[in-house]
A and B are shown apart, each in its own frame.
Chain A
Amino acid sequence: MIKILRRSVLGATAFAFTLGMSLSAVATTASAETVLRVNMHSDLKIVDPIWTTAYMSRNYGYMVYDTLYGMNSKGEIKPQMVEKLDISADGLTYDFTLRSGMTFHDGAPVTGDDVVASIKRWGSKDAMGQLMMGFVKDMKGSSGDTFQFILNKPTGLIIQALGKPSSNVPFIMPARIAATPATEQITEYVGSGPFVFLKDEWKPGDKAEFAKFTEYKPRNEPGDGLAGGKVVHVDKVVWKVIRDAQTKMNALSKGEIDVIESPSHDLLPLMEKDPNIKLVDLNPFGNQYTFRPNSLHPPFNNPKILEALLYAFNQEDFVQSTVGNEKYYKLCKAMFICGTPLATNAGFEDKFESNYKRARELVQEAGYDGTPVLIMHPTDLAILGNLVPVAKAAMEKIGLKVDMVAMDWQTLVGRRNKQELPADGGWNAFITSWNSVDNASPLSTPMLNAACEKALFGWPCDEEIQKLRNEYAGESDATKQLAIVEKIQQRVSKKPTHIHLGQWYSPAAMGANITGAPVSPVVAFWGYKKAE
């Protein structure tokens, strides 16, 4: 009986194995298209990049939509859909001309009216867009390839805002879709970008597929980050959801997937040794850890205590606790990201050096009454989890009482919007991470907004910072912009809205046969070549 059973099991397994191998081989032979299989950092959930600020929706936006301007690998804003721009002598009229021959995925031409409708929707939602719209008196579209902005006062903000690389990005949609209020999700997924979203192939939690848009006309120049010619060399891009870090690495090594956007740091040494895998640093600006205090409640409604934290914290402690390998982090006192034109240490020269003595003095001067700091501790994200105990230790060293509350990240995301006292479900602080490009200017940095109740969770309230941000928005000269940034940093060093805790990097992992990945702060899939 046992022998018969064993023969049956072995026979069935062998049959399935042989059949599977045969059919897999047939499938491989029959398929001539080049497919780039990518494991992104998360699952694609929302396909409206204006309705949400989620990074995955932004990444989706770069596949399906095109932008008027794009940021290159050096952080410069360059024309993308725009062919020509004429600015009047008084700086109040911007006449744009689009590149000719651009069409949406449904075959309709891209017109000035589409641009104006798209910018209106974006400008009603995005903080930088709202700021820009404050300078715009009127926008005039056309059924052709021109559109016009008429300003109420000159500003250097327009091109910076239209070239904003991260959420929310001013993507251009057909006017009928862009007419959807920004408070509602769009239901039609038509853009003019280099890829077409294959809606019917989208399996939430499993995969999202994009086909090359064969009618896309890239700029006639080499691709450079999010700017230049977006030339697509693959027929299809599949975003494949793989949750397990080890499985991702094995799948990449075996060639079952081609790219991992954000591999786990602890697996990088193994990947470095694998001849089938190469690690490529695609985002030269990396990411920035940020400590966010809640300005509404004691003790962090007292700027002196926040200033004390600047003296107590040491960026190296934080990045070492999570990233570990110094190849993948950078200590940087500049708020607006080291390596950018706005990088300066102004205000922070003597900070971030574990100066506990000075920090304790400031805590005493502040009259700290022993109110505990409730810091939210996300325990389910490896890249954030170890930061909070480091902050706790530093705060306790300078005499603060700390209540570290463990929770999952999504609980933190819900709780950080609560303005109640910490004891009633609110909070005092948490630590997060931003794509550095979000924090690369005083206007794009979400946590620098100090507009009180209109500011991001944490709700800092500082007229001086708001005044300096507006001053920056109205300035187009780079030297004067840097001078304003120095003033902002001086101000923040005395009255912190948030505390930057160092930059860290996550190289993308890709198959040895993959080349041409664009160097960009946002992952994009034009340029990729896959050798068989």
Chain B
Amino acid sequence: MLTYLIKRVLSVIPVLIVVAVIVFLMLRLTPGDPAAIIAGDAATSQDIAQIRDKLGLEEPMVIQFGIWVGNMLTGDFGDSFYYKRTVSSMIADRVGPTVALATFTIILACIVAIPLGTIAAYKQGSWLDRAVMGMSVIGFSVPVFVIGYMMIYLFAVKLDWFPVQGYQPIADGIGGFLYRLVMPSAALSIIFIALIARMTRTSVLEVLNEDYIRTARAKGLEESKVMTRHALRNAAVPIVTVIGFAIAILIGGVVVTESVFVIPGLGTLTLDAIQGRDYPTVQALIMLFSVVYVLINLVIDVIYTLLDPRIRY
């Protein structure tokens, strides 16, 4: 197992090299000039040329790449083209809201979706099953911004239960922190509830006809224990995969939800950086997301072995 983990961690290196090259090239080949954006509308070509020079954009691409990689190896992701700040500090500012939103969303999604999916499987063909699956289709189909707008209209504008927008760091008070996360997490969790519930139902259905379930029932085990200890546990591997996939998406930034509810997370940072052609920030973010993806996959693989002793690496 340890050997496997070391191999998997080392396998991140070639992935990151490929990502670095692709991201660097894609950004440079994308139309748009950060210097022109920075200079403003009334700037002359001379002004823009000076800024390009200051930003190091006049250097050959190979040299720019070398400088970037060299700095990155020393932990220096460079400075944003726009803000007189290091990219690392800007990312650090945005990680908190993203992690908070992702954590809340996943917890909420799991709390709701796994029982729903299990019950739907248990009551296969019943009105409850059809209702859960019907709701899943709606959850998949309705864009998150529509759900967000509806929730804001109902719970913030009409009922005045929650604020329309905004994020409060946990350092400013746990109550306000939780209070402000309820609506965005709820809106964002809908699609993941749909996804996880469907996957749970399918997986549980597959194991419900297995011999060991019949045996458990024949032994006189309570149905709730049959479902949780035997059915759900054996159905867990694909569910965990979907949850891991969801976490990766959430950490990678959920631009629409962040925009609608004004959460200053990594999604809007990425969007702003791409729109502004802020190369150092985009490059660092994509590298970060790549590492997160690989690590989440690694964690999922480890969880597989805990859930199913037959899986060995």
> Which residues of A approach B to under 8 Å, CB–CB?
1-2, 5, 9, 13, 16-17, 19-24, 27, 43, 45-47, 52-55, 57, 125, 127, 167-168, 183-185, 187, 203-206, 240-244, 246-247, 250-251, 253-254, 256, 407-408, 410-411, 413-417, 419, 432, 434, 438, 446, 453-457
Question: What's the least CB distance linking B126 to chain A, in Å?
Answer: 14
Q: Given A53-B41, A127-B42, A205-B268 in contact, is the A414-B182 Cβ separation under 8 Å?
A: no
Residues of B within 8 A of A57 (CB): 40
Whether B134 is near chain A, meaning CB under 8 Å from some CB there, is: no
Q: Are A256 and B163 in contact (CB under 8 A)?
A: yes
Cα separation A19 to B268 with both chains bound (whole Å): 29
B166: CB under 8 A from chain A?
A: yes
At the interface, yes or no: B102 with Cβ under 8 Å from chain A?
Answer: no
Q: How many A-B pairs with Cβ below 8 Å?
A: 168
A16-B178, A457-B45 provided; 15 other pairs, C-beta below 8 A? Answer: A1-B224, A2-B119, A16-B175, A23-B175, A167-B42, A205-B90, A240-B262, A243-B262, A247-B165, A247-B260, A247-B261, A251-B164, A408-B275, A414-B33, A434-B41
Most A-side CB within 10 Å, residue of B47, B153, B174, B261: B47
Which of the candidate stretches B1-9, B80-88, B295-303 sits at the interface with the other chain?
B80-88
B308 within 8 A of A: no
Does B173 count as interface, using CB distance less than 8 angstroms?
A: yes
CA distance in complex: A265, B261 (Å): 21
B223 to chain A minimum Cβ distance, whole angstroms, is 10
What would 25 A/B residue contacts be, using CB atoms closer than 8 Å? A16-B178, A19-B175, A23-B175, A23-B179, A24-B176, A24-B179, A27-B176, A45-B83, A52-B38, A204-B80, A205-B94, A205-B264, A206-B93, A206-B264, A241-B264, A246-B149, A246-B260, A247-B164, A247-B260, A253-B157, A256-B163, A414-B31, A417-B33, A446-B41, A457-B45
Residues of B within 8 A of A20 (CB): 175-176, 178-180, 182
Cβ-defined contact, A410 with B32, below 8 A? yes
* B41: nearest chain-A partner, CB-CB: A53
Q: Which of A5, A413, A438 lies in contact with B115, CB distance below 8 A? A: A5
Residues from chain A with Cβ under 8 Å of B262 in the complex = 240-244, 247, 251
Cβ-defined contact, A254 with B157, below 8 A: yes
Within 8 Å by CB of A16, from B39, B152, B182, lies B182
What distance in Å separates the Cβ of A69 from its nearest Cβ neighbour in chain B?
20
Complex contacts, A242 vs chain B, CB 8 Å: 165, 262
Asked if B37 is at the interface (CB within 8 A of a chain A CB), the reply is: yes
Q: Is B201 an interface residue (CB 8 A)?
A: no
CB of B179 within 8 A of CB of A19, answer yes
B179 contacts across to A, CB distance below 8 A: 16-17, 19-21, 23-24
* With contact pairs A5-B115, A205-B269, A243-B259 given, residues A52 and B43 touching in the complex (Cβ less than 8 Å): yes
User: How would residues 170 to 189 of chain B score, 1 for a CB under 8 Å from any chain A CB and 0 otherwise?
Assistant: 00011110111010000000
Given contacts A205-B272, A254-B163, A413-B32, are A53 and B42 in contact (CB under 8 A)? yes
Whether, in the assembled complex, B23 has its beta carbon less than 8 Å from a beta carbon of chain A, the answer is no
- Among B37, B260, B268, the residue within 8 A (CB) of A410 is B37
What are the interface flags for B134-173 relative to A under an 8 Å C-beta threshold, 1 for contact and 0 otherwise? Answer: 0000000000010001001100110011111110000001
Chain B residues with CB under 8 A of A168:
42
List residues of B (59-113) whose CB comes within 8 Å of A's CBs: 80, 82-85, 90, 93-94, 111-112
- Contacting pair A256 B259 (CB below 8 A): no
B94's nearest neighbour on chain A, judged by CB, is A205
Report whether A247 and B173 are in contact in the complex, using a CB–CB cutoff of 8 Å.
no
Q: How far is the CB of A214 from chain B (nearest CB, A)?
A: 25
B115 pairs with A187, CB closer than 8 A:
no
Contacts of B46 in A (CB 8 A): 454
Q: How far is the CA of A240 from the CA of B82 in the complex (A)?
A: 18
Q: Which listed residue, A21, A206, A410, touches B275 by the CB 8 Å rule?
A: A410
Whether the Cβ atoms of B272 and A43 lie closer than 8 Å is: yes
Bound CA span A456–B46, Å: 10
Residue of B nearest to A407 (CB): B31
Closest A residue to B152 using CB positions: A250
CB-CB < 8 A to B32: which residues of A?
Answer: 408, 410-411, 413-415
Total interface residues on B, using CB and 8 Å? 64
Where chain B touches its partner, the secondary structure class is helix
The residue that A417 contacts in the complex, of B36, B80, B82, with Cβ under 8 A, is: B36
Which residues of B218-271 are within 8 A (CB) of A?
Answer: 224, 259-262, 264, 268-269
The contact of A244 among B44, B93, B260, by CB within 8 Å, is: B260
The verdict on B280 contacting chain A, using a C-beta distance below 8 Å, is no
- In the complex, which residues 267-283 of chain B have their Cβ closer than 8 Å to any Cβ of chain A? 268-269, 272, 275-277
Contact yes or no, A5 B272, CB < 8 A? no
Give, as a whole number of angstroms, the nearest-CB distance from A50 to chain B. 11
Cα–Cα, bound, A55→B93 (Å): 25
A residues less than 8 Å from B94 (CB atoms): 205
Q: Is B48 among interface residues, defined by CB-CB distance under 8 A?
A: yes
- Please tell me if the beta carbons of A22 and B84 are within 8 angstroms of each other in the complex: no
Residues on A with beta carbons closer than 8 Å to the beta carbon of B40: 52-55, 57, 167
Minimum CB–CB distance from B163 to chain A (whole Å) comes to 6
Q: Report the nearest B residue to A447, measured CB to CB.
A: B42
The reply to whether A456 and B173 contact each other, CB–CB distance below 8 Å, is: no
10 closest A-B pairs by beta carbon, nearest first, are A20-B179, A53-B40, A414-B33, A23-B175, A19-B175, A206-B264, A53-B42, A54-B40, A16-B178, A414-B32
B54 on the interface (CB 8 Å rule)? yes
Q: Would you give the shortest CB distance from A320 to chain B, in whole angstroms?
A: 24
Q: Which residues of A contact B180 (CB under 8 A)?
A: 20
Cβ-neighbour of A204 out of B44, B90, B152 (below 8 A): B90
Which residues of the other chain, B, contact A243 by a CB distance below 8 angstroms? Answer: 259, 262, 268
Structural contact, B43 and A53, CB atoms closer than 8 A: yes
A27 to B176, CA, bound (A): 10
Shortest Cβ distance from B253 into chain A, in angstroms? 12
Min CB–CB distance A299 → chain B (angstroms): 22
Which residues in A have their C-beta under 8 angstroms from that of B38? 45-46, 52, 54
**Interfacial chain A residues near B166, Cβ < 8 Å:** 256
Query: Smallest CB-CB separation from A22: which chain B residue?
Result: B175
| Chain A residue at minimum C-beta to C-beta distance from B80 | A204
B50 adjacent to chain A (CB < 8 Å): yes
Give the shortest distance, in Å, between B186 (CB) and chain A (any CB).
9
Residues of B with C-beta under 8 A to A22:
175
Q: Within 8 Å CB of A167, what residues of B? A: 40, 42
Residues of B within 8 A of A47 (CB): 84
CB-nearest residue of chain B to A249? B164
CA distance A244 to B267 in the complex (A): 14
CB pair A53–B39 under 8 Å, yes or no, is: yes
Q: Complex Cα distance A414/B31, Å? A: 7
Q: Are B161 and A17 in contact (CB under 8 A)?
A: yes
Q: Are A2 and B264 in contact (CB under 8 A)?
A: no
Q: How far is the CA of A199 from the CA of B46 in the complex (A)?
A: 30
Known: A17-B161, A183-B54. A45 touches B82 (CB 8 A): yes
